[in-house]
Structures are given as structure tokens and as C-alpha cells.
């Protein structure tokens, strides 16, 4: 069997923008539905959505038949969790709350087999190796792993140059909601100060020769970040899209919208 090519990683290398959707409904049927809609990548969220390796696995399986790249975000930067997500077949990970170059090096090491890293060798049990049916998987897999780390605090921005220089970090994702909170602007990820910080961060990451990305459902702002050189941008969240469409439909027929507005604050 052939080792699956990480088309997302290759696109980042070539500087080709990748447009994504955040997936938080934690259901394989939803993931497959979204896989048919034309995005370059789908980010399966296990940080804020009710996901774990058991629920992420069927979503990866559902997406596999379609030309869209699955990305997994673990709940935390854990060597053990990273091992599990890689073994069930994730090739691209977004690691939350990385604040130092040392943390970034540890996250990269978690994705590499010894002697380059500390990933546990259990390929006979792993979907990623097709249960040891991919020739030389343990020797070749590193080349197809894509590591994205999240810079989402003032401290992370202060250490951004060092994080971006870490070998094996393919890109840095700016988390606007947590960054806003860290800047004293909780609930305001679109504040001009947050936008300026992300713009400055994108420039720094590009200077280091790495890919930069972020999430925003503000279409104008998404285009602004792409124009600044971001190469992976999630432009919506499945839960937000569903809530918005359902509220609009309900309001049309009942005459009254219910509840507050949705935003990116949880992401």
C-alpha cells in the first residue's frame, strides 16, 4: 500500500492558500456532508467540541473518500494524545496554546519516531500504517506529517520568532479569540488591536519561511488576512452556520429571532 500524500502540507510549501471550515458537531455524518462542499480542509476540533480519538476516527474515515484534507486539533499539546491521533490516521495537527520554542520542539518530537523524536512505535495497531501494510511506514511517515502550532497569547507573540524557527513546525495558527482575551479584549476577536497583532504575526511567520493561518467568519477580514499572506484560513464554523441558518428560517416563519448572536469567541 502507498503512504497517503499530505496534500495540505504540499500546498503550504508551494504557498497555495488553503481555505477551511471548523468542524465541531462531532459526528461522522456531518463530517462527510461537509467533505462534499468544496473546502480544501476541515478542522476537526477536539479542544472545544465534544471529541476524543474514538469520535474523531469515524470522522476521518468519513472524510477519506473526498478531496478534502482533515486536520485535527487535540484538546491540549499532549505527547500521548498526539500519538493516538497520528495512529488513527491524522497527518496534520493544530496544537493549541504553544507559547515557547521549547514547547514547539516537544510537539514536533511527539510526531516523529526515534531517533528524531519520541513518537511511540505501535504501527501494527495503527490505521495510519494500514496495520503495517504500508512499506517502511515508520521510516517514511515523518515526511507527510504537518505540525501547526497555535500562537494565541501575548506571551506566544513575544516568543513568535523563536517558535517559527523550530525545525518541523510547518505553520503557526493565530487563535483570535484567546489572543483577544490575553490582550484584555475578551469576546472581541475582531478588535483592531487583535487584528493588528495577527497582521504583525503573519509577517513574522512569513519572514521565517513558514505558513501562517487563522480563523474568522468575518469574510472581509478573512480576505484581509489572505491578502497579508496567510496561507491557511478557516472561514467559518459548522455550529455557527447551522445556528444562523436555523434562526433565519425560524424568524421568517415565526416573526421573531430567539437568542443572541453567534461569533468566534469560543474558538
List residues with catalytic annotation.
48
At 226, list the grid cell: 489572505
Q: Are 225 and 236 in contact (CB under 8 A)?
A: no
Q: Is 4 helix (H, G, I), strand (E, B) or coil?
A: coil
Q: What is the dihedral of CA 50, 52, 55, 57, to 10 degrees?
A: 150
* Gap between the Cα atoms of 198 and 66, Å rounded: 32
Find the distance separating the first CA and the last CA of the chain, reported in whole Å. 37
Q: Which residue in 86, 82, 90 sits closest to 41, CA to CA?
A: 90
State how far the Cα of 51 lies from the Cα of 44, in Å rounded to an integer. 8
Amino acid at each position: 500500500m502507498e503512504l497517503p500524500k499530505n496534500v495540505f502540507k504540499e500546498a503550504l510549501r508551494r504557498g497555495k492558500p488553503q481555505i477551511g471550515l471548523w468542524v465541531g458537531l462531532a459526528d461522522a455524518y456531518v463530517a462527510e456532508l461537509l467533505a462534499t462542499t468544496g473546502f480544501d480542509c476541515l478542522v476537526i476540533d477536539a479542544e472545544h467540541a465534544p471529541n476524543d480519538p474514538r469520535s474523531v476516527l469515524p470522522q476521518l474515515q468519513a472524510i477519506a473518500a473526498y478531496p478534502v484534507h482533515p486536520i485535527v486539533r487535540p484538546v491540549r499539546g499532549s505527547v500521548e494524545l498526539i500519538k493516538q491521533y497520528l495512529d488513527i490516521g491524522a497527518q496534520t495537527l493544530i496544537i493549541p496554546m504553544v507559547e515557547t520554542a521549547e514547547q514547539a520542539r516537544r510537539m514536533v518530537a511527539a510526531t516523529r519516531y526515534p531517533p528524531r523524536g519520541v513518537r511511540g512505535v505501535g504501527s501494527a495497531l495503527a490505521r495510519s500504517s494500514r496495520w503495517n501494510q504500508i512499506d517502511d511506514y515508520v521510516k517514511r511517515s515523518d515526511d507527510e506529517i504537518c505540525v501547526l502550532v497555535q500562537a494565541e497569547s501575548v506571551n506566544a507573540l513575544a516568543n513568535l520568532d523563536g517558535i517559527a524557527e523550530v525545525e518541523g513546525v510547518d505553520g503557526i495558527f493565530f487563535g483570535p479569540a484567546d489572543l483577544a482575551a490575553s490582550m484584555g479584549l475578551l469576546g472581541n476577536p475582531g478588535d483592531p488591536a487583535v487584528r493588528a497583532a495577527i497582521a504583525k504575526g503573519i509577517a513574522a511567520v512569513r519572514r521565517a519561511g513558514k505558513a501562517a493561518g487563522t480563523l474568522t467568519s468575518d469574510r472581509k477580514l478573512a480576505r484581509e488576512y489572505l491578502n497579508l499572506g496567510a496561507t491557511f484560513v478557516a472561514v467559518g464554523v459548522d455550529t455557527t452556520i447551522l445556528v444562523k441558518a436555523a434562526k433565519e428560517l425560524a424568524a421568517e416563519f415565526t416573526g421573531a429571532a430567539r437568542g443572541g448572536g453567534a461569533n468566534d469567541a469560543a474558538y
